[in-house]
Amino acid sequence: MPDDDRVYSYSAVLMGSPILLKLFSHNEALAAQVFRLIKQYEDLLTVNRACSQVMDINLAAGKHPVAVSRPVFELIRCAKAASLLENSAFNLAIGPLVKRWKIGFQGDSVPPADEINTLLALTDPTEVVLDEAACSVFLTRSGMEIDLGAIAKGYIADRVRDFLRKQGETLGLINLGGNIQTLGSPEGGWTVGVKKPFDAADALIGSLQIENKSVVTSGTYERYFERDGTRYHHILNPRTGYPLDNELDSVTVISTDSIDGDLWTTLLYGLGVEKGCAALRVRPDIEAIFVTKAREIVFSSMHHFRFTLLDNRYRLTGNTV
């Protein structure tokens, strides 16, 4: 343990999300450096403003390739590979649909079916062309748009962990709004809450104890709107263009790297409980907690965390795989 075992918390709002940094020393200068680092990545990756390297690619769709920095290229390469997995629910080229639905932003609406079909035709991940030597990205059709919203926070959380380590820190936690990465472990581990879907922001169904791991949650309750009695949430089915519809309210992934957690929450969302647990049998490094609409909590496995149930209206159910 460090000499001073008090926790110091620093907060900011970046990427439209509340950001929380926990350190075990009072170090405002370091916290400011961390927030600057996050801001630098936001400036490279955002699609919510006109200027960023990703927006440069999007604005040149159908016209010409755009050379980008190596980290942006590598993140896009990773996102494309995940999009091309068989039956993947993840699609880095989902941008035109995300922009049209505007779920979580002002002006949200349900697009007409023919418009969704037109936009779906602009989301083919094979039409994101990467040139390794030139470090460039080309969207072959006008109107295509890359959206890294489902993976970028995980990537950035890992960069914050690496930065803290490089600065000589041995303990720290960064929360990028539901996307948590940790460095080291205080005595007893880090405690991370699992949110209760569609309830008060601080309502928890359980808590996790982890050491040196990332915890990422994706839920239908995070960004959604309701129209005519139907709820529309922000994780879209790349095959239909509508929000993914299955038995789940949320998926939490425990992994070493947060980029894996961010990616797998989307993949598992698409697979659902049974197929998701089956897929994770060959990935012992990735563990998931599924929370269903029927208030069941299912663990794919439980090697790298402990779980405490805090709401007895939820039932712990063994996975059947």
Name the site residues for ligand FAD (rule: CB under 6 A).
15-17, 42, 45-46, 48, 89-91, 94, 98, 104, 147, 149-150, 152-153, 178-179, 218, 222-223, 234-236, 238, 262, 265-266
C-alpha closest to that of 44 among 166, 175, 137, 143: 137
Task: Pick what 172 binds: Mg ion, ligand FAD, none; C-beta below 5 to 8 Å, kind-dependent.
Answer: none
Residue type, 138: F
Task: Pick what 178 binds: Mg ion, ligand FAD, none; C-beta below 5 to 8 Å, kind-dependent.
Answer: ligand FAD
**Which phi-psi region, left, alpha or beta, contains residue 129 (left: φ > 0; alpha: ψ -120 to 50)?**
beta
For ligand FAD, the nearest residue by Cβ is 16
Neighbouring residues of 151: CB distance < 8 A, sequence distance ≥ 6: 75, 78, 79, 82, 90, 92, 259, 262, 263, 266
CA 142 to chain centre: 27
Residue type, 32: A
169 vs 234, beta carbon nearer ligand FAD? 234
State in angstroms the smallest separation of the CB of 220 from Mg ion.
13
Task: Pick what 260 binds: ligand FAD, Mg ion, none; C-beta below 5 to 8 Å, kind-dependent.
Answer: none
Binding residues vs Mg ion (CB under 5 A): 150, 218, 262, 265-266
Task: Pick what 152 binds: Mg ion, ligand FAD, none; C-beta below 5 to 8 Å, kind-dependent.
Answer: ligand FAD
> Rg of the chain's alpha carbons, rounded to an integer?
20
C-alpha closest to that of 286 among 259, 271, 264: 264
Task: Pick what 15 binds: Mg ion, ligand FAD, none; C-beta below 5 to 8 Å, kind-dependent.
Answer: ligand FAD
State in angstroms the smallest separation of the CB of 83 from ligand FAD.
7
